[in-house]
Amino acid sequence: MVYQAKTFPLSNLEGISDQTLEMHFKLYEGYVKETNNLTEKLSAFLADGKVDQEEMPAYSELNRRLGFEYNGMVLHEYYFGNMTRGGGGDADGRSAFRAAAERSYGSYDIWKVDFVGVGKMRGVGWAICFQDPNTGSLSNHWVSLHEVGNVAGFHPVLVMDVWEHAFLLDYKPSERAKYIDAFFANVDWTAVDRRMDSDERAATDAGRRAQGGR
């Protein structure tokens, strides 16, 4: 499998400069390239149908890097994909996301306090709101680097990059809170809702119809 870097129509965002976005797209393309490079190198080991004992150290190191490069690629796609010019505000009161956040955290505001809190954690990584496909519930998680802390099988629905490269051209390292405000000013809540489990969306839509709304 050879991955192609995606393009994202992002510019003129609130509080996140085009300069930052351009640099960030280049970094993302690096992850796509390295994912492809690693896959190609690993397939060369497998070409003779076995992994020899003397190949094992190099083969192991390349495999250990796979999680970093793959998640670096995929998480950036989720991150760019959940921002848009003219986005922001809070999740729509009638959205599947809002309903799930209220059910999971007691209130949308508490969900947001937790997500922002995770985003402010010291260290290099990501704040991610996942949906459990088995229960439909939401939970926020800190992911170190790109690969430590992802929950197997859970679906990312809102993804925020809090590596310093995401904001260092616009804010000081100590101003992560300002960057988090800027991130929320650009969230594409429609895209977030599209990521929600389709049963959840159907239930919310049915509820709206029953209330005579849409």
Q: Which residue lies nearer to Fe ion by CB, 110 or 177? A: 177
Q: Which residue is nearest to Fe ion (CB)?
A: 161
Q: How far is the CB of 165 from Fe ion (least distance, A)?
A: 6
Q: How far is the CB of 126 from Fe ion (least distance, A)?
A: 8
Q: Which residue lies nearer to Fe ion by CB, 33 or 103? A: 33
Q: How far is the CB of 93 from Fe ion (least distance, A)?
A: 31
What is the number of other CB atoms lying within 10 angstroms of the CB of residue 103? 14
User: DSSP characters for 107-153?
Assistant: SHHHHHHHHHHHHTSSSSEEEEEEE-TTT--EEEEEEETTTBSPPTT
Q: Which H or E run contains 200?
A: helix 198-210
Q: Which residue lies nearer to Fe ion by CB, 77 or 161? A: 161
Q: How far is the CB of 76 from Fe ion (least distance, A)?
A: 6
Query: Between 108-119 and 96-105, two packed helices, what is the crossing angle to 10 degrees?
Result: 80
Q: Which residue lies nearer to Fe ion by CB, 99 or 182? A: 182
Q: From CA 76, how far away is CA 126, in angstroms rounded?
A: 10
Which CA distances in Å does 208 have to 95, 104, 213?
Answer: 10, 20, 5
- Binding residues (CB under 5 A) for Fe ion: these are 161, 163
Q: How far is the CB of 146 from Fe ion (least distance, A)?
A: 9
Q: Which residue lies nearer to Fe ion by CB, 8 or 163? A: 163
